[in-house]
Amino acid sequence: MAGRRSGGRTYDPSLWLDPLGRLWYLFTRDNKDLGRHELYARICTHPDATPPA
């Protein structure tokens, strides 16, 4: 991830290709100042397209 939030970090990146052919990028972000851990996902619906969409 570009840039770092104050008091937090991004970790545990994972890629998953679901049964519909979508590429998922999953990662966890925490913020020690707020005491939160959050799971985020980005989905690429057409990973074989040029460029991917």
Query: Looking at residue 31, what DSSP letter applies?
Result: E
Residue 1 lies in a domain: no
pTM of the predicted structure, to 2 decimals: 0.72
**Confidence (pLDDT) at 3:** 55
CA-CA distance, 25 to 17, in Å (whole number)? 9
**SS3 state of residue 7:** coil
| Alpha carbons 20 and 30: distance in angstroms, whole number | 30
Q: Could you give the CA distance from residue 13 to residue 2 in angstroms, rounded to a whole number?
A: 14
Question: Which structural domain, as residue segments, surrounds residue 39?
Answer: 10-44
Answer yes or no: is 51 within a domain: no
How many domains would you assign to the chain?
A: 1
Q: At 15, is the pLDDT very low, low, confident or very high (cuts 50, 70, 90)?
A: very high
4 domain residue, yes or no = no
